[in-house]
Structure 1
C-alpha cells in the first residue's frame, strides 16, 4: 500500500504551463494531486520538497523565540511590547504560509494560484509588521514625532494592500506577459521593503557619515539588509538553474536559496529589533508617544481583513467560469 502513495514525478513537458518553473526540468508532482498526496510528497524528493522544509522548520524556530519572549515580557499589559508581538506573529506566519503554499499548490491550477495568493498576503502582512516594529523601535532619534513618523503606519497599510493586489494580479498575466508579470511581482515586494527600510538606510548613512562605530542593533540590521538584497536577486534572477537547466531541479535552485536567505535575513532583523527595543526603551518612552492597541494589534487585524478581502476578490475571479480574461490561467 505504501508504494501506491509514492509521488509520481513528471518532466516539465508533462505538466501544464502554469506549473512550470524556469530552469527546472524534472521532479514535478502530479498537477491533480489530492491534499493527502501533497502532504505525503513533502516527505519524498520532488522539486518542491526543499522549498517546503526551508520554511516549515524555521516557522517553529520563530514560534520558539516568540514563546521565550512571551515568558519574559508582559505582552498583555505592557503596551511598549505590542509592536514586538505583532512583528513576532508575522514572522511566524509568513514562512508557515509559504510552506503550506508549496505543499498544496499541485492540487490543481486554481489551487496553485490561490495558494500563492495567500503566500503573497502573508508576505504583505510581514511588511506591515516590520513597519509597526520599525516605527516603534528603529526610527532615528531625529525623526521621532516627525511627519514621516506620524504617518509611517498609514503608508505601511497602503503598501501592504498594494503588495497583495499587485502580486496577485501579476499571476493573471504571467502566461501571456511573463517578463511584465515578474517585474510587477518584484516591485510589489520591493516597494514596501524600501519604505520600511528608510529609517535603517538613514541610520546606516549617518553612521558612515560620522565615522562612528555601528551599534549592535545596527550591525544586525545591516546583515538583514544584505540578505534581503540577496533574496531579491535570487528571486528575480532564477540563478543558478537558468545557467544549467536540469542540474538544480532538486537541490540548489534559486527558490530554495531565496527561502534560506529570507529566513536568515529575518533572524538578523529580529535580533536588531530586539536590541533596539531593549537599548532604546527609556529614551523612546520619554520622547515618543507610546504604542497604542489600535496602532499595533488593531493595525495588523485591519491589514489581515483587507488582505483577505483582496485575496477573496482575486480567488473569486479565478474560480469564475473560464473566459477570455482568465482562460490562460488554466492552460494545459
Structure 2
C-alpha cells in the first residue's frame, strides 16, 4: 500500500539564522529541501503552509476576475478599461509570486534570498498597477491635468525600481543589521503606497469636509484600513513576538499580513471598478483616452527593470558567498542528514 512520508520539521535552533523568523520557534522545513520536498510541504502543516495557501488561492480568484472583466468590458475596443485590466494583472502576479517564493524558499540560503527578490519585485509591480489605475480613475477633479497628474505614472515607474532595489538590498544586510534591514524593507513597501494613495487621500479628505456622492468612498475607506493594518502587522511581528511558540502554525503576523493584504486588494478592486464606471462620463470628457504606453507599457517596462535588478542582486549572492548567509549550510551533521 502506497504511503507518503512527509519531511521532518525542525525547531529554530536546528536551522541556520537566515531561515529563522522572530517569535516562530517550531515548524521549520529542512534548510536544504529538494523541490519535491517543498511541494510535498504544501500538504503538511508547517509554519509556512498557510502563508502559501493564503496567496496561492487568491491569485486564481484575481485571475478569474481579470478574465471576467476582460470579457464584460470589451477591452479590445475600449481603451478606457486598459488601466483597470493592467492593475488586475498585477493583482494576479503578486500573490502567485509570493506563494511560489514561500514554497521554494527552503531549498538553500541563496534560493531563499532569490525567491524573496522576486516576491518584492512583484509587490512593487502591484504598486505600479495601483498607480496606473489611480491616475485614470481616482484623481480628484482639482488635480486633473496638473503637473503632478501628468508625471504621476512616470514617477511611479521610478518608485517601482527604487522599491525593488531597496527591498532586495535589505536582505543582504539582515544578518548583520536586522533592525536596519527591517526598517529599510518597510520603507521600500510603504513609500510607493503613500505616493500612489496621495490623490485618493486628498479626495477622501475633501469628502470628509464637504461630503460627496461617490459610491466608491466606503470601499476606498475599507481598502485603506486594511492597507494600514497590513503595514502594522508586517512591522510589528504581532502577536508572535509577545508569545513566542504560540502562533508558529496558525495566527502569526505573516499569515495575518497575507490575509489583510488580499482583503484590502479586493476592496481596492471594488472601489476602482465603481470609480471607473461611475466617473466615466466626466473623466472621458476631461482626459484623453488612455494610451498603450501608459496602461500596459509602463507595467511591461517596470517588469523588465525589476527583473534586471533582481538578476543583479542574485548575481551578487554568487560573487560574494557570505551574503547568502553565514550559516548557509547546517553546522551539525544531524541537520544535514535528510530524514527518510
TM-score (norm. length: structure 2): 0.94
What residue ranges of structure 2 are gaps of 5+ in the alignment? 331-340
TM-superposition CA deviations, 1:169-188 (whole Å, max 9, x none): 00000010000000000000
- Equivalent residues in 2 for 1:246-325 (5 A)? 246-322=245-321
Distance in 1, Cα, partners of 2:329 & 2:134: 43
What does residue 61 of structure 1 align with?
A: 61
Distance in 2, Cα, partners of 1:329 & 1:78: 54
Check the 8 A contact 1:27/1:46 in 2, yes or no.
yes
Distance 1:50 1:226, change over 3 A: same
What does residue 136 of structure 2 align with?
A: 136
Check the 8 A contact 1:17/1:331 in 2, yes or no.
no
Distance 1:326 1:102, change over 3 A: closer
Check the 8 A contact 1:168/1:314 in 2, yes or no.
yes
The structural deviation recorded for 1:321 is 5.0
Distance in 1, Cα, partners of 2:203 & 2:139: 9
Distance in 2, Cα, partners of 1:87 & 1:27: 36
The structural deviation recorded for 1:322 is 2.1
- Equivalent residues in 2 for 1:119-268 (5 A)? 119-210=119-210, 212-213=211-212, 215-268=214-267
Name which of structure 1's ranges 73-82 and 224-233 shifts more when overlaid on structure 2: 73-82
* RMSD after superposition: 1.4
Check the 8 A contact 2:138/2:272 in 1, yes or no.
yes
Distance in 1, Cα, partners of 2:165 & 2:70: 33
Distance in 2, Cα, partners of 1:14 & 1:257: 26
Q: Does 1:80 align with 2:110?
A: no
Check the 8 A contact 1:62/1:92 in 2, yes or no.
yes
Q: Does 1:330 align with 2:334?
A: no
TM-superposition CA deviations, 1:247-285 (whole Å, max 9, x none): 000000000000000000000000000000000111111
What residue ranges of structure 1 are gaps of 5+ in the alignment? none
TM-superposition CA deviations, 1:75-110 (whole Å, max 9, x none): 222111110111010001000000000000010000
What does residue 26 of structure 1 align with?
A: 26
Distance 1:317 1:132, change over 3 A: same
How many residue pairs get aligned? The number is 330
Distance 1:181 1:3, change over 3 A: farther
- State the secondary structure of the residue aligned to 2:282: helix
Distance in 1, Cα, partners of 2:155 & 2:275: 22
Name which of structure 1's ranges 70-79 and 184-193 shifts more when overlaid on structure 2: 70-79
The structural deviation recorded for 1:145 is 0.2
- State the secondary structure of the residue aligned to 1:148: helix
Distance 1:200 1:36, change over 3 A: same
Check the 8 A contact 1:23/1:242 in 2, yes or no.
yes
- State the secondary structure of the residue aligned to 2:216: helix
What does residue 337 of structure 2 align with?
A: none
Check the 8 A contact 1:35/1:107 in 2, yes or no.
yes
Check the 8 A contact 1:130/1:196 in 2, yes or no.
yes
Check the 8 A contact 1:5/1:37 in 2, yes or no.
no
TM-superposition CA deviations, 1:59-80 (whole Å, max 9, x none): 1111111121122112222111
The structural deviation recorded for 1:209 is 1.3
The structural deviation recorded for 1:30 is 0.6
- Equivalent residues in 2 for 1:83-122 (5 A)? 83-122=83-122
Distance in 2, Cα, partners of 1:90 & 1:237: 26
TM-score (norm. length: structure 1): 0.96
- State the secondary structure of the residue aligned to 2:112: helix
Check the 8 A contact 1:24/1:245 in 2, yes or no.
yes
What does residue 52 of structure 1 align with?
A: 52
